[in-house]
Amino acid sequence: FDNPIIKYDAPDPTSGPGDYIFTADGAAMAWDNKVYLYTGHDEQAQGVEGYRMFDFRLWVSEDMVRWENKGAVMRYSDFSWARGDTSTGNANAGQVVERTDRSGNPKFYFYVPLQGGQSDYGISIGVAVADRPEGPFKDARGIPLIFLADTAGTGATHSWRNLDPTVFIDDDGQAYMYWGNKILYWVKLEDDMIHLKGETYTTDSGGVMRDRSFRGVELNVVTGLTDYTEAPYLSKHGDLYYLTYASGFPETISYATSTSPEGPWQYRGVVIDRVPNSDTVHHSLFDFGGASYMTYHNGALPTGGSYRRSTCVDRIYYNADGTLQKLIQTHL
């Protein structure tokens, strides 16, 4: 692969010509014979520390080689409850999943962690919905799906503990959401993908949720994962479930397997080593066209770095026993 696959803010983001664009936290969705790659967008100035991320970008491919730039498909300001920090932005790592509704129509659900919803600086998780993978996406609830207070009393006091949601729909139709920085949480979702199992609420005349209570929700905490940091991603291959995640700091990608999406999880090792010029690495794991791939980011573009990252993709291979071969980072 000609990594980073996203280099230019141009119709052809891989080969250009155009200005460099810095993207991160990519999560791919294979749907309708295409790959939809959703990324964050780093806008920090060269040599300045701290994240500046205001929108979510979409890149589409039919062959994993040529990518089409679909531009910004959602902004953090599309959520009325988001804090809306104009100096830093808060469009952190999200994921889109597709599910057919009761009428037989495909719906696309975008899960994102954003500042606001309860504490100005605390991270909540929101969900937006669209009829098409390229949007437009609209806040599905009018309030967060997960509030900062929902994970209070779990052993973490830092305000960014609700980062990095990943959503997986099992073969029996049950949807799960995993997320968390330093501590890994999971809950079950209702079939409508925008409510939690056990959540109670009322709605006003405009359909906005009111009087929401988390009291009946079963919040699960995963323990025993080696060096868990953040960025969980839940997937399935064959009969095994795979929980891949960012480990340590500077980060690598490790993984664990289970025979159930609820665990228990068996640690299997590191699948992506440290990446060039970036302390973080965020990923997704997916199948397309009879092959398996992982997206990830690094800081390899000229003027890039930990706050000006770039999205890459490479093949990943499963051994006969279900373990993963270590990913080879190409074109570095």
Domain assignment present for 129: yes
Q: Is there a contact between 130 and 107 (Cβ–Cβ < 8 Å)?
A: yes
With bands split at pLDDT 50, 70 and 90, how would you rate the model's confidence at 118? Answer: confident
What is the per-residue pLDDT across 128-147, written as a single tens digit (0 to 9) for each?
999 999 999 999 999 999 99
Q: Calculate mean pLDDT across residues 10-26.
A: 96
Residue 148 to residue 53: CA distance in whole angstroms: 20
Q: Which stretches within 188-281 are classed as H helix?
A: none
Q: Is the pLDDT of residue 120 over 80?
A: no
Domain assignment present for 11: no
Give the number of residues written for the chain: 332
Q: Is the pLDDT of residue 116 over 90?
A: no
Which string of b and e fits 29-45 if b means at least 16 CB within 10 Å? Answer: beeeeebbbbbbbbbbe
Q: Is there a contact between 87 and 50 (Cβ–Cβ < 8 Å)?
A: no
236 closest CA partner among 147, 158, 174: 174
Domain assignment present for 14: no
With bands split at pLDDT 50, 70 and 90, how would you rate the model's confidence at 90? Answer: confident
**How many domains does the chain contain in total?**
1
What is the per-residue pLDDT across 186-205, written as a single tens digit (0 to 9) for each?
999 999 999 999 999 999 88
Query: Which phi and psi angles does 27 have, rounded to 5°?
Result: -130, 120
Domain assignment present for 180: yes
Residue 83 to residue 60: CA distance in whole angstroms: 30
Domain assignment present for 53: yes
Q: In CATH, what number is assigned to the domain containing residue 60?
A: 2.115.10.20
Chain-wide mean pLDDT for the chain?
Answer: 95
Residue 265 to residue 262: CA distance in whole angstroms: 8
CA distances from 221 to 153, 155, 183, 211, 282 (A): 11, 10, 7, 25, 21
Structural domain that includes position 299: 22-315
Domain assignment present for 131: yes
Place of tokens 């573009």: 301
| Higher pLDDT among residues 84 and 48, named by residue | 48
Domain assignment present for 1: no
Domain assignment present for 293: yes
Which string of b and e fits 59-78 if b means at least 16 CB within 10 Å? Answer: bebeebeebebbeebbbbbb
What is the per-residue pLDDT across 255-311, written as a single tens digit (0 to 9) for each?
999 999 999 999 999 999 999 999 999 999 999 999 999 999 999 999 999 999 999
Structure tokens at 292: 């398996």
Side chain identity at residue 143, one-letter code: I
